[in-house]
Amino acid sequence: MATKRGTGEMRDRVVLGEFGVRNVHTTDFPGNYPGYDDAWDQLRFEEGFRVDVVREEDDALEFDMVGIDAAIANAFRRILLAEVPTMAVEKVFVYNNTSIVQDEILAHRLGLIPIRADPRLFEYRNQGDEEGTEIDTLQFQLKIKCSRNPRAAKESSDPNELYFNHKVYSKHMTWVPLGNQTDLFPDADFRPVHDDILIAQLRPGQEIDVLMHCVKGIGKDHAKFSPVATASYRLLPDIALLQPIEDEAAELLQKCFSPGVIEIQNVKGKKVARVANARLDTFSREVFRHEGLKNLVRLARVRNHYIFSVESTGILPPDVLVSEAIKILMGKCQRFLNELDSVPME
């Protein structure tokens, strides 16, 4: 009985000790635990697996994935960061740039602007292809000139009054359709996601006249192609009180954790601490700084419960990004299955 409980903790909890973290690695492989059948069973996986969506806003999504292993959850996270494709400015043809922002700095800034264009409608550009075709390139133009306002008051020092077009925003970027793109995308509105990204500042007489080519790429190539502001996950915290904690110790315990984690109930006139919502805790490990409390609490994380947080840059909604990431992992497997079938292994 005791051994079964001990192995239970080893199998499904990552324990946070005072000086280190224990049971980090996945050990439930066939043969490691006598009495457990750990071979891969799709039905058992499907019974134990679930996804719970916690919160969805315009660009942010928080959801729980329960019953999956770290290797696969991490694969989804890595793909979300680096392998889901997007469109971004790659080539900048500078016809005139008399601003004080150097050409290459301007080009770098333009590349980082997120472009609202569904990358699934476009193809990757072939290597060595210098001219863009209409199926793999989006063209944008930024043409703006700063001039003096003749009607400004003589003593005014406010640039907004003195000059026209002295701040170049991303809303000044206009889409220039290539070839038959107006027919291919009749009601598409390709523009930067945000209108108020400041690209450069000008003074009278300075102008910027550039033509930009956007191509499809992935975050592995350059971070500008990454579709997420960030995508991360954490494991569900699991706080266990090994002994009942009362009165002042209970108050102290409540202060050791994030607000809302420990609640104090009144049981028969005494104040007793109880774990209300372990999910809110950020594990600052403040408990371990108090001699009287550190042996009464066990801090752990549930090994197969992942709380994902995906924040998109606005190009694609976050749930579409997660679906695309899963499809990309399937695509990788399919690629190798095809290779196995096409090349006879000797």
Q: What is the CA radius of gyration of the chain?
A: 28
Closest separation in Å from C-beta 319 to other proteins:
5
Return the number of the residue (44 or 270) whose C-beta is nearest other proteins.
44
Return the number of the residue (76 or 175) whose C-beta is nearest other proteins.
76
Closest separation in Å from C-beta 42 to other proteins:
6
Return the number of the residue (72 or 121) whose C-beta is nearest other proteins.
72
Q: Binding to other proteins by residue 332, rule CB under 8 A?
A: yes
Residues numbered 199-218 forming contacts with other proteins, rule: CB under 8 A: 217-218
Residues numbered 38-57 forming contacts with other proteins, rule: CB under 8 A: 38-40, 42, 45-46, 49-53, 56
For the chain, the three-class secondary structure string (H helix, E strand, C coil) is CHHHHHHHHHHHEEEECCCCEECCCCCCCCCCCCCCCCCCCHHHHHHHCEEEEEEECCCEEEEEEECCCHHHHHHHHHHHHHCCCEEEEEEEEEEEECCCCCHHHHHHHHHCCCEECCHHHCCCCCCCCCCCCCCCCEEEEEEEECEECCCCCCCCCCHHHHEECCEEEHHHEEECCCCCHHHHCCCCCCEECCCCCEEEECCCCCEEEEEEEEEEECCCCCHHHCCEEEEEEEEEEEEEECCCCEHHHHHHHHHHCCCCCEEEEEECCEEEEEECCHHHCCCCCHHHHCCCCCCCEEEEEEEEEEEEEEEECCCCCHHHHHHHHHHHHHHHHHHHHHHHHHCCCC
Return the number of the residue (166 or 213) whose C-beta is nearest other proteins.
213
Closest separation in Å from C-beta 196 to other proteins:
29
- Of 12-20, 26-34, 96-104, 241-249, the window that binds other proteins (rule: CB under 8 A) is 26-34
Q: Binding to other proteins by residue 121, rule CB under 8 A?
A: no
Return the number of the residue (197 or 329) whose C-beta is nearest other proteins.
329
Q: Binding to other proteins by residue 65, rule CB under 8 A?
A: yes
One character per residue 72-111, x = contact with other proteins (rule: CB under 8 A): x-xx--xx---x-x--------------------------
Return the number of the residue (189 or 346) whose C-beta is nearest other proteins.
346
Sites of contact with other proteins (CB under 8 A)? 26, 29-31, 38-40, 42, 45-46, 49-53, 56, 63, 65, 68-69, 71-72, 74-75, 78-79, 83, 85, 124, 126-127, 217-218, 220-221, 319, 322-323, 326-327, 329-330, 332-337, 339-340, 343, 345-346
